[in-house]
Structure 1
Amino acid sequence: MTELRFDPLLPWWAIVALAALALLVAGFALWRGLRGWAWRGLAGLAAALALAGPALEIGSRMGLSDIVILIDDRSASQTLPERGAQTDAAVDALTRRIAALPNTELRRVTVGDNDDGTLLATEMARAIAAEPEARLAGVIAVTDGRLHDPAMLPAAAPAPVHVLLTGRPQDWDRRLVIEEAPAFGLIDQQIAIRLRIEDQGAVPPQAQTGSVNLRLSLDGGPEQVVAVPLGQSLALPLTLDHAGQNVVQIGFDAPAIDEPGRGELTDRNNAAAISINGVRDRLRVLLVSGEPHAGERTWRNLLKSDAAVDLIHFTILRPPDKSDGVPVNELSLIAFPTQELFMERIEDFDLIIFDRYSVRGILPPEYYANIARYVQNGGAILVSAGPEMAGVESLYLSPLGRILPARPTGQVLEEPYLPRLTDEGRRHPVTAGLPGGGDEDRDPTWGRWLRMATVTPDPGAQVAMTGADDQPLLILDRVGEGRVALLTSDQVWLWGRGFEGGGPQLELLRRIAHWSMKEPELEEEALLADVAGDLSVRFTRRTMADSAGPLVVTRPDGETERVPLEPAGPGRFTADWTAPEPGLYRLADGDLRRVLAIGPAAPREFEQTVASAAALQPLIKATGGGAVVLADGMPDLRTVAPGRRAHGSAALGDWIAITPRDAASVTGLERRPLLPGWAWLLLVSGLILTGWLREGRAGKAAPIGRDASG
């Protein structure tokens, strides 16, 4: 490599001025008729050229090898039938053929699994950018064409891009597509999940049915089967029956094909798990205070502080047995709407609270019986009792008594006592972990109460707290589908007033109320699972029993695994576990069941499974490459000049080509002056002398336009 360079001794404007002056002098000499005008001009130009410092730059070159990028797609979709073997054979064959080419290097890039799918375009763009453009001779991708980052695909490349497509001509698949699913849903109100079932690829005639049986299950419960048409969007109605997470499992059975090798590619996309958080529209609470007292406002403040609670509060100020001589038409009190509340609209309430309520003839017996039926059918009642619990006006002596969890003894203890948690109370989520609750070896740090009624709890009831002489203070029970809570003291308001340091009044009452309304986080028997991003799961089993587990985990492939649970506190057992793969898992411990979705039930790799090079076609076309189906045979590998066609078909099959680039790097550089300084001096001097001698021998030239003879 030899090039002419300049290293001027003066600024270029001075050199240009000198050359212009030389031309001006030569022109003047020509005008004057001097015979040496040409030699004078050449002398001036030679002087200007000498000042420009011309030199020859001689570089030595070393040839560089061409580079071919081989992209090896090893994502999950490449594990479908025959694709792995096709990929192995194609990569091995290309590796041997490229190694046999002279002056050619291979760069192999492996594309694996990613949470976002197959990022083949990103890896291809990164690999192309990492190599010198002048050396890249070709890019070959062995893939099924199912990439999930098409926006990262380069618009062009300096060499042909070829795709060797895996898969079979008879491949087909049927998949479940969830088009729209709500993240939240109101309890007992209908929501809709929009979905469709679609076919891809060469569907065999046996599978071309008009409808498919869709299976629907909520939280692992009984399945519902619905016939849905193929290829049509439809809205699937669903009603949530509890608050918290509801896992909806939707799927269909793979079609049965008698012909070997003609079944669908995978059943991983035949099912989906959707988590919908069930929320209550509003919690409707009816609070009935039997008489004004110091703790009445405690309940009202608690319930009114929750924006999600609609509270209706009645206080009995003038019971029927009260005789004060005031005419009814002169009273400004509101009549108690007993018929409407306890007969007509009782089902509208999520919780009924009786606060120091006495049976004084306000409600007929059939009303109490209706409240009992309301609880057995799934309602909730909370009784905060005072001294009236031990008298003849006790609620226990009404038809409501058959659902109360304890029988009054008729005794009221008027003495200071410290509320304590029982063994069951340390396990029960209503009272477990209450601030200041102490443990078996330490007394609670909260203040004392001053009064309570004594009761005898039913055998199946749970005593969470005790008071004076270890008498039951807080009793919780389940009746039919509903729940009942009984607090045998009206002194909880002392905690709110800070008496002897106070206590967790609002937290305790809030838990009692929300447990009564079946809030999931306060269930005694619960199975919880916290999933991390790396497929690790922490199982938490909450129970009133002394032991739990082992937990039976059913994997997506049907295999089962037993996971032992370790104690982690009263009523809590935990285990850390790592799922082998994303999918839908079923958990079981005794009668408790739960469905757990770890990642998508149908990972992104299996959303589109039939091989296709459509996403890569723009780049293939822009670079002059080609797409070859490996099921038709391995293509031949050739070399062609840049700009020539890089793929085609021949008698022996398809062929693809790379373009050798003949790249080189400069290893050395030498600069030599065109002439040494003394040679330039001799040249300029010789030209000047020649011009002078030319003029001296011939004399002065005749003026232009005059005859020489005079």
Structure 2
Amino acid sequence: MIGSGTGSVIFDPLLPWAFVAGLGMALAAFLALALWRGLSGWWLRAMAAAVVLAALANPSFQREEREALSDIVIAVIDESASQKLADRPAQTAAAVEALEAAVARLPNTELRVFRLGDGEGNEGTLLMSRLAEALAEEPRARLAGAVLVTDGQLHDIDRAPSLPAPLHVLLTGREGDWDRRLIVKNAPAFAILGETVTLTLRIEDQGAAPPADRAELNISVDGGEEMTFVVPVGEDLELPLELPHGGINVIRFAVPPAEGELTDRNNAAVVQINGVRDRLRVLLVSGEPHMGERVWRNLLKSDSAVDLVHFTILRPPEKQDGVPVNELSLIAFPTRELFLEKIDEFDLIVFDRYKLRGILPALYLDNVRRYVEAGGAVLVAAGPDFASAASLYRSPLGEAMPGVPTGRVIEQGFRPAITELGRRHPVTSGLEDFAPQGEGGESPAWGRWFRQVEVEPVSGNTVMAGIEGRPLLILDRVGEGRIALMASDHTWLWSRGFEGGGPQLELLRRLAHWMMKEPELEEEALQATAEGATVTIVRRTLGEGAREVTVTAPDGSKVTLTLEEVAPGRLEAVWQAPEMGLYRLTDGELDAVIAVGPAAPREFEATIAEPSALAPLVEATRGGVARLEEGMPDLRQVRAGRAAAGRGWLGITPRGAYVTADVTLLPLVSPWIFLMLAGLLTVGAWLREGRR
């Protein structure tokens, strides 16, 4: 609207102010001279000088026509994740509607609404940053007040802007709200297998929680069966843990939802700990000296993480050469100590061309079988004796063998090949990449071997084949342990580089890791990795055909993804997670968990609505806090500098901002009048002084 005009006197000098000031100083000097000489008309001369200076200053009357501007009230609406709990969305919507109606009733006042979601990544609620952005978009001279509709949980209070008007908070939530939260206070990124690592947890109740001394805590590893414990609430828990396998161990902690709590989004946490083997203890038993014995030894000794115990049987009991035992430089084979007392200390036992000679009694070999069934690992590198009556298969260990010798040893050149199943098995998948392709690209150009023991597979997976497709490498699971049968003793030719050699070191490394149950070498596995919000889901399997994975989001919603085969035995899907939190995956056979960002995002670290973080800023602007559960307060206008909040009301301060629509400038005195006055005063001074 157009307001009434306002006028004021201004000076618009005809000459620069510096010239006017200089002239004034000169006139003052002449007046001083007149006083010194005693001229009686000096005061008339002073008045004439003042009129001249006033004329040069050009006094004018300025009249402005002003257009009044409306006052602005800023409302920042918090729509972050914590504001979606319980009935807070309804409270927020009702508050915005009531605020719009209240501002509409005030004269010459407008409402500007700004909304705020979750910050990027795990930044939380950036309420003050959004308020600062809102202030930057509106003229500060028109700001009559700011209102925050929020639960009071924010994470950038240090970025609070200065406000020229009152700040008010309309607080959502209810006085009786409470929440239970699981906190992982300490968890290492790495741990040594076989050693105990301690994690520190805490179950904490926030708000008006009912009395509770204890709560259930569920723990699962790699999505497996949950273990339930009853633990105290409100105390730090020291949890000793021993990792079950090497590689990444995904450990999930969860507290069952309690009746009445705000959310269960912060009731779970996922910890990923990389299991590292301090040392891999290997027992290598060579039945007799042969060309490949030193190759086995050198391969195992080349890895500084391997503790190797190697025995070669040089003088079997049946050898009768007449040399007294006390004159031999050989040591006795400590069979009892190795195979009865300390067998469980070894991670892997390798039998290299071993045959039955009466050195290891059947009881000891039966103990090796039990060692495998209990979770141990055995690798059998078969030589010609494996096909004889002295075959290790004829011992109690034969019950765990995945292949039966037919009694035939084939001695002719052949190139080991990966079977169709082997192309899908992680132990042999991609081994062709370690050698150039042969003619036609059908098989890798590895060096040839010249001996193979013929075996008939009875269990396990045949991943490598030799002459005429006969099984060459068979892998099998026995009880909790694993066993591998290599039906040839010519692997050493690859290490010697014969005809280009082959990936013996890589094959042995993968075999050892598979036997040690490393997750990356499992035949059937469901894994997921997250980079930002991008989740890559990998399903390894020996089967064929497409697979589907059901993903359960933190809010309970589900989505089904189809995995596509990107390599033999490897299916993948890339998916964008809609929010941070803990996701559960299943394909009906295997389960997995993945945390996108933290399992409990920053938004859910504190969920109880309370204004303590905003209180200093509100008090500094003389604003107020009103709980919406008590009703929407009235909105009224108050003068600047007075309290802007009271019982049941909040105030805004009108700013009286305006824009000048028109300016009229008129001279205050006509120049002719100034000229006439100056002339009359000068003549009057001359006449007075002339008479005297």
What TM-score do the two structures reach when normalised by structure 2?
0.88
Q: CA deviation at 1:473?
A: 1.6
Mapped partners of 2:26, 2:361: distance in 1: 130
Does structure 1 residue 242 correspond to structure 2 residue 248?
no
**Structure 1 range deviating more: 420-429 or 328-337:** 328-337
Q: CA deviation at 1:642?
A: 0.7
Does structure 1 residue 209 correspond to structure 2 residue 212?
yes
**Structure 1 range deviating more: 269-278 or 572-581:** 572-581
1:96-111 aligned within 5 A:
96-111=101-116
- Contact 2:404 / 2:455 at 8 angstroms: preserved in 1? yes
- Contact 2:383 / 2:453 at 8 angstroms: preserved in 1? no
Q: CA deviation at 1:469?
A: 2.5
Partner of 2:32: 27
Mapped partners of 1:49, 1:294: distance in 2: 121
1:80-159 aligned within 5 A:
80-114=85-119, 115-154=122-161, 156-159=162-165
Partner of 1:503: 502
Partner of 1:259: none
Mapped partners of 1:498, 1:291: distance in 2: 23
Query: Alpha-carbon deviations, 1:227-282, whole Å to 9, x = none?
Result: 222322222333321233333333334445xxxxxx33333333333333333333
**Structure 1 range deviating more: 549-558 or 565-574:** 549-558
- Contact 1:375 / 1:482 at 8 angstroms: preserved in 2? yes
Partner of 2:4: none
- Contact 2:449 / 2:491 at 8 angstroms: preserved in 1? no
SS, match of residue 645 in structure 1? coil
SS, match of residue 214 in structure 1? strand
**Structure 1 range deviating more: 122-131 or 44-53:** 44-53
Q: CA deviation at 1:37?
A: 2.4
Partner of 1:705: none
SS, match of residue 124 in structure 1? helix
- Contact 2:70 / 2:110 at 8 angstroms: preserved in 1? yes
Q: CA deviation at 1:646?
A: 0.5
Residues 418 and 133 (structure 1), Cα distance of their counterparts in 2 relative to 1, 3 Å cut: same
Unaligned runs of 5+ in 1: 257-262, 700-710
CA RMSD of aligned residues (A): 3.5
Partner of 2:630: 632
Q: How many residues are matched? A: 682
Mapped partners of 2:350, 2:684: distance in 1: 129
Whichever residue aligns with residue 168 of structure 1, its letter is R
Partner of 1:704: none
Does structure 1 residue 219 correspond to structure 2 residue 219?
no
Whichever residue aligns with residue 242 of structure 2, its letter is T
Mapped partners of 1:677, 1:337: distance in 2: 129
Whichever residue aligns with residue 182 of structure 1, its letter is P
Mapped partners of 2:509, 2:403: distance in 1: 22
SS, match of residue 483 in structure 1? strand
**Structure 1 range deviating more: 583-592 or 130-139:** 583-592
Partner of 1:231: 234
Residues 320 and 15 (structure 1), Cα distance of their counterparts in 2 relative to 1, 3 Å cut: farther
Counterpart selection for 1:272 from 265, 269, 274: 269
Residues 526 and 677 (structure 1), Cα distance of their counterparts in 2 relative to 1, 3 Å cut: same
Partner of 2:602: 604
SS, match of residue 435 in structure 1? helix
Query: Alpha-carbon deviations, 1:621-648, whole Å to 9, x = none?
Result: 0000000111212111100111111111
Whichever residue aligns with residue 127 of structure 2, its letter is L
Residues 401 and 102 (structure 1), Cα distance of their counterparts in 2 relative to 1, 3 Å cut: same
Does structure 1 residue 691 correspond to structure 2 residue 690?
no
Residues 364 and 31 (structure 1), Cα distance of their counterparts in 2 relative to 1, 3 Å cut: same
Mapped partners of 1:301, 1:129: distance in 2: 71
Counterpart selection for 1:183 from 159, 183, 189: 189
Whichever residue aligns with residue 139 of structure 1, its letter is A
SS, match of residue 209 in structure 1? coil
SS, match of residue 431 in structure 1? coil
**Structure 1 range deviating more: 381-390 or 118-127:** 381-390
Residues 10 and 230 (structure 1), Cα distance of their counterparts in 2 relative to 1, 3 Å cut: closer
Q: CA deviation at 1:46?
A: 5.7
Mapped partners of 2:207, 2:214: distance in 1: 18
Partner of 1:516: 515
**Structure 1 range deviating more: 562-571 or 163-172:** 562-571
- Contact 1:10 / 1:52 at 8 angstroms: preserved in 2? no
Unaligned runs of 5+ in 2: 1-6
Whichever residue aligns with residue 453 of structure 1, its letter is Q
1:207-356 aligned within 5 A:
207-256=210-259, 263-291=260-288, 293-316=290-313, 336-356=333-353
Partner of 1:64: 69
Does structure 1 residue 655 correspond to structure 2 residue 649?
yes
Partner of 1:618: 616
Partner of 2:430: 433
Q: CA deviation at 1:423?
A: 1.4
- Contact 1:410 / 1:453 at 8 angstroms: preserved in 2? no
Query: Alpha-carbon deviations, 1:130-177, whole Å to 9, x = none?
Result: 3222111000112221223333233x4111001111222332333333
1:474-493 aligned within 5 A:
474-493=473-492
Partner of 1:468: 467
SS, match of residue 615 in structure 1? coil
Mapped partners of 1:50, 1:265: distance in 2: 79
SS, match of residue 147 in structure 1? coil
Residues 455 and 137 (structure 1), Cα distance of their counterparts in 2 relative to 1, 3 Å cut: same
Query: Alpha-carbon deviations, 1:499-545, whole Å to 9, x = none?
Result: 333333322221112112111111111112233533x5443322222
Whichever residue aligns with residue 147 of structure 2, its letter is I
- Contact 2:462 / 2:471 at 8 angstroms: preserved in 1? yes
- Contact 1:454 / 1:471 at 8 angstroms: preserved in 2? no
Mapped partners of 1:538, 1:372: distance in 2: 39
SS, match of residue 523 in structure 2? coil
1:665-684 aligned within 5 A:
665-667=659-661
Mapped partners of 2:404, 2:253: distance in 1: 48
Mapped partners of 2:636, 2:41: distance in 1: 66
Query: Alpha-carbon deviations, 1:22-54, whole Å to 9, x = none?
Result: 222212221221112234445556666666777
Whichever residue aligns with residue 234 of structure 1, its letter is L
Whichever residue aligns with residue 26 of structure 1, its letter is L
Mapped partners of 2:386, 2:61: distance in 1: 116
Q: CA deviation at 1:375?
A: 1.4
Q: CA deviation at 1:606?
A: 3.3
Does structure 1 residue 192 correspond to structure 2 residue 191?
no
Mapped partners of 1:215, 1:73: distance in 2: 34
Mapped partners of 1:18, 1:130: distance in 2: 49
Residues 11 and 171 (structure 1), Cα distance of their counterparts in 2 relative to 1, 3 Å cut: closer
Q: CA deviation at 1:186?
A: 3.3
- Contact 1:302 / 1:510 at 8 angstroms: preserved in 2? no
**Structure 1 range deviating more: 186-195 or 142-151:** 186-195
Whichever residue aligns with residue 121 of structure 1, its letter is M
Whichever residue aligns with residue 348 of structure 2, its letter is L
Partner of 2:3: none
Mapped partners of 1:440, 1:372: distance in 2: 43
Mapped partners of 1:149, 1:565: distance in 2: 41
- Contact 1:192 / 1:238 at 8 angstroms: preserved in 2? yes
Mapped partners of 1:560, 1:109: distance in 2: 32
Partner of 1:544: 542
Percent of aligned pairs with the same amino acid? 54
Q: CA deviation at 1:379?
A: 0.8
